[in-house]
């Protein structure tokens, strides 16, 4: 029962795609996931964030219709709980779809935390409803697909309210009136754009000399122009010097590319400085 051809640790996009492909090739597959299959992309990243961005696009479209096309329409307010409910429904439907796909393919999904005990053996604690420990062996090998989590900074410990990660921002109880986004990569730019569409005052701070620095320079140039046109303050070549927590937000000092030190206050400081791999407690040395 606890022997398979392949054991996949991690049920995110990489993990479940590998499991489905291996099963399609006729291999017996065990997929170990300690949370929900679908991983970051489905539950905390791509899918829910694009749902929010679609809502933002609708808000922006109404403004354009009014200002450019003569369509007399306005947005009275954004019902955040209703928006969240729609977002969560989209995620739930996709989650059920992934679970059904895995079941149909014959992939055995084991709930629990995995630890390597050898090159082809895995120990899973808390597997399914069993609070004990199970041992699994792979004839062919083990695939590590444990994903990543938001990177944090030592001096900026997230509290989920004033200093937040992208995960915190996604599940926030309400929309902020102002946001300072630290990090101009894909995640930072997405959240800066979304919050601006929702009416927030947004400042985007990036240490590199351009936003989305991993993309082509012309992408950065056009995107910067578009964000500024929408009223987002974009500071590149800038660094956050410090942050003071207030009762209702944060007060920060930012050194600009010209060497000037500016004070920026915001209701929320979103730290979007990249992601780090989830490898702790795996005992990779084994």
Per residue in 201-251, pLDDT (tens digit) is: 999 999 999 999 999 999 999 999 999 999 999 999 999 999 999 999 999
Residue 126: predicted pLDDT: 82
**pLDDT grade, residue 128 (50/70/90)?**
low
Q: Name which of 96, 107, 88, 110 is nearest 34 in CA terms.
A: 110
By percentage, how much of the chain surpasses pLDDT 90?
A: 94
**pLDDT grade, residue 21 (50/70/90)?**
very high
Rounded to an integer, the average pLDDT of 162-189 is 96
Sign of CA dihedral 96, 54, 151, 246: negative
Domain 1-146: which CATH number of 3.40.50.300, 3.60.10.10, 3.50.50.60, 3.60.20.10: 3.50.50.60
CA distance 2 to 9: 14
Rounded to an integer, the average pLDDT of 121-144 is 87
Reported pTM: 0.92
Does the structure show a pLDDT above 80 at 127? no
**pLDDT grade, residue 269 (50/70/90)?**
very high
Rounded to an integer, the average pLDDT of 21-32 is 98
Domain with CATH 3.50.50.60 in the chain: 1-146, 150-275
Q: Name which of 94, 84, 83, 144 is nearest 119 in CA terms.
A: 144
Domain 150-275: which CATH number of 3.40.50.1100, 3.50.50.60, 3.40.190.10, 3.90.380.10: 3.50.50.60
Does the structure show a pLDDT above 60 at 177? yes
Give the three-state DSSP class for 132. coil
Q: Which long-range contacts (CB under 8 A, 24 or more apart) does 126-135 make?
A: 126/34, 127/32, 134/2, 134/110, 135/2
**pLDDT grade, residue 161 (50/70/90)?**
very high
Across 23-27, 129-133, 229-233, least confident range = 129-133
CA distance 130 to 107: 19
Residue 130: predicted pLDDT: 63
Rounded to an integer, the average pLDDT of 30-37 is 96
Q: Name which of 138, 135, 180 is nearest 28 in CA terms.
A: 138
Rounded to an integer, the average pLDDT of 97-117 is 97
Rounded to an integer, the average pLDDT of 101-122 is 96
């Amino acid at each position: 029962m606890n022997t398979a051809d392949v054991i996949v640790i991690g049920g995110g996009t990489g993990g479940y795609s590998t499991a489905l492909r291996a099963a399609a090739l006729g291999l017996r597959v065990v997929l170990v996931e300690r949370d929900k299959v679908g991983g970051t992309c489905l539950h905390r990243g791509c899918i829910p964030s694009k749902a929010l961005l679609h809502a933002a696009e609708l808000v922006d479209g109404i403004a354009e219709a009014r200002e450019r096309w003569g369509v007399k329409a306005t947005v009275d307010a954004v019902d955040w709980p209703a928006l969240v409910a729609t977002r969560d429904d989209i995620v739930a439907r996709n989650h059920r779809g992934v679970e059904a796909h895995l079941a149909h393919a014959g992939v055995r999904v084991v709930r629990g935390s995995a630890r390597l005990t050898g090159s082809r053996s895995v120990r899973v604690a808390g597997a399914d409803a069993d609070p004990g420990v199970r041992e699994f062996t792979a004839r062919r090998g083990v695939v590590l697909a444990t994903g990543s989590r938001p990177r944090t900074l030592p001096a900026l410990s997230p509290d989920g309210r004033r200093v937040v990660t992208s995960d915190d921002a996604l599940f926030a109880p309400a929309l902020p009136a102002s946001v300072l986004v630290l990090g101009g990569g894909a995640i930072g730019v997405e959240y800066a754009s979304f919050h601006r569409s929702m009416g927030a005052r947004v400042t985007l701070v990036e240490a590199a000399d351009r936003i989305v620095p991993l993309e082509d320079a012309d992408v950065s140039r056009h995107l910067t122009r578009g964000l500024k046109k929408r009223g987002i303050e974009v500071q590149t070549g800038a660094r956050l010097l410090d942050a003071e927590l207030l009762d209702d937000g944060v007060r920060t000092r930012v050194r600009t590319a010209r060497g000037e030190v500016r004070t920026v206050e915001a209701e929320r400081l979103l730290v979007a400085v990249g992601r780090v791999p989830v490898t702790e407690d795996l005992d990779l040395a084994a």
